[in-house]
Amino acid sequence: MSTFDHPGLMQDINECLVPFRKSQPDAMKGFGQLAQAAMAEGALSTKHKELMALAIGVTQRCSGCIGFHVKALIKLGATRAELEEMLAVCVYMGGGPALMYAAEAVKAWDDLQAPQG
């Protein structure tokens, strides 16, 4: 099982990007605009687009992408069943390596769930 601390990883990534954001504001603004445009509601819902983004993160083996897109999916009201179906497709298309990162995505889902209560 993955030993990643997804909340900590995401915080570290954000902190490490602060100087890059300052030194490359136009590039980072452009990236943000691209992300916003790509993820906007359209023929596909934002939730479906986030599921696709997470699938790419899993199959490309990007732990940071896994954390950020799982967090977005939780915020959008995705269900664990939707997550798990998407992960099954990742494993189908990506084989054993995708299975290892699918396990990480499930852990991220559990780590990033809002406390129940």
Give per-residue pLDDT as tens, 33-56.
Answer: 999 999 999 999 999 999 999 999
- The DSSP symbol for 44 reads S
CA 31 to CA 54: how far, in whole Å? 18
Give burial (CB, 10 Å; 0-12/13-18/19+) of 9: middle
User: Could you report the per-residue pLDDT of 51-89, keeping only the tens digit for each?
Assistant: 999 999 999 999 999 999 999 999 999 999 999 999 999
pTM, 2 dp:
0.90
CA 1 to CA 88: how far, in whole Å? 17
DSSP secondary structure letters along 19-36? HHHHH-HHHHHHHHHHHH
Amino acid at 28: M
Helices within 1-117 (DSSP H only)? 6-23, 25-39, 46-59, 63-75, 80-112
